[in-house]
Structure 1
Amino acid sequence: MEYKIRKVGLEHLNDAAELFNLYRVFYRQADDYEKCKQFIRERLDNEQSNIFLVYVEDKAVGFVQLYKMYHYIKLAKQWLLSDLFVHPDYRGKGLSVALIDRSKQWCNETEACGLMLETEKTNDIGNKLYPRCGFEYDGQHNYYYWWK
């Protein structure tokens, strides 16, 4: 399957927002395209994330979103692979792997030490995909959240 991966700018906002909305619906959140569009626009306007879209025949079918973090041991920048999504009609065609590979390339381009990610324990697809892509499972840490 032929595809192209593009770094998102404001000219790609509608495509990114549409996929981000579908991604959130996948994670049992309310369908809200306009709020997703505003969220993505703010991330781009404030240079708070880097997003890559994968296109098949000029249709955006998947994305990855990366946030900058810093690693205290390596004393270097790293990227949080926060969001990865491929439209269900295009899954199983290697597009998730291509987006992860592009994220690794972004690490090289930005002199980052690596990628970090978290996924739900019930995400069977992701929990099989990430080790295949060279990620190591860190079973020594628990992740906790505080929400206001």
Structure 2
Amino acid sequence: MITIRRAEKTDLLQIVEIFEHYRNFYKCERNNELAVEFISKRIEFEDSFILIAVDESKPLLTIVGFTQMYPLYSSTEMKKLWLLNDLFVLKDYRKKGIAKKLIENNKQVAQTSGARGLFLETESTNEVAKNIYSNEGFIKNKNIFYNFDL
């Protein structure tokens, strides 16, 4: 069973591990020390919103996916916007609806915060991600996807 919840300080090392998998997907060199510092600051300062997908069927806490959103603001709308910057699911857990659950939970966070919308971008070659985002109601504008209908 997969549950989605907000990340906590006690999740730090597992978040860093999946965060490094995500960075590797984008051809970034592994750097656990900086990743620990980066993620711990995001959690401590609450300047991002990290959701994790946890496989509850495992005996130990097993994070199998995550998202990270950053708040932005629209001056013209005078409202918050959310940037869904990171979304990653471990390979063995893909095609099980986990990305969809994570996105749905991010939409709920955006709605609850009174945000104007939620947007993201992905590489133009990432067809799997582009299909997921389109199926979840995001509208493509070049390689930027946005959803103002929360």
Q: Say whether the fold is shared (TM-score over 0.5).
A: yes
SS at match of 1:48: coil
Q: Give me the CA root mean square deviation.
A: 1.5
Kindly indicate which of the two structures has a greater share of residues assigned to strand: 2
Match of 1:7 in 2: 6
Show structure 1 runs of 5+ residues with no match: 142-148
With normalisation by structure 2, the TM-score equals 0.88
Deviation at 1:72, TM superposition (A): 3.6
Deviation at 1:34, TM superposition (A): 2.3
Distance in 1, matches of 2:111 and 2:75, equals 19
Which is worse superposed, 81-90 or 132-141? 132-141
Distance in 1, matches of 2:5 and 2:111, equals 17
Q: Is the 8 A contact 2:72 2:80 kept in 1?
A: yes
2:115 to 91, 104, 112: 112
SS at match of 1:40: helix
Aligned sequence identity (%): 36
The superposition leaves residues 104-132 of structure 1 with CA deviations (integer Å, 9 ceiling, x where unpaired) of 01012211122110111011111111010
Distance in 2, matches of 1:140 and 1:60, equals 29
Within-5 A mapping of 1:89-104 = 89-104=92-107
Distance in 1, matches of 2:143 and 2:126, equals 19
Match of 1:130 in 2: 133
Deviation at 1:140, TM superposition (A): 9.4
The superposition leaves residues 15-61 of structure 1 with CA deviations (integer Å, 9 ceiling, x where unpaired) of 21111011000100112222211110011122210100001124110
Show structure 2 runs of 5+ residues with no match: 145-150
Letter in 2 for 1:7: R
Within-5 A mapping of 1:55-74 = 55-56=54-55, 57=57, 58-74=61-77
Match of 2:88 in 1: 85
Match of 2:25 in 1: 26
Which is worse superposed, 104-113 or 67-76? 67-76
With normalisation by structure 1, the TM-score equals 0.89
Letter in 2 for 1:48: D
**Equivalenced residues, count:** 140
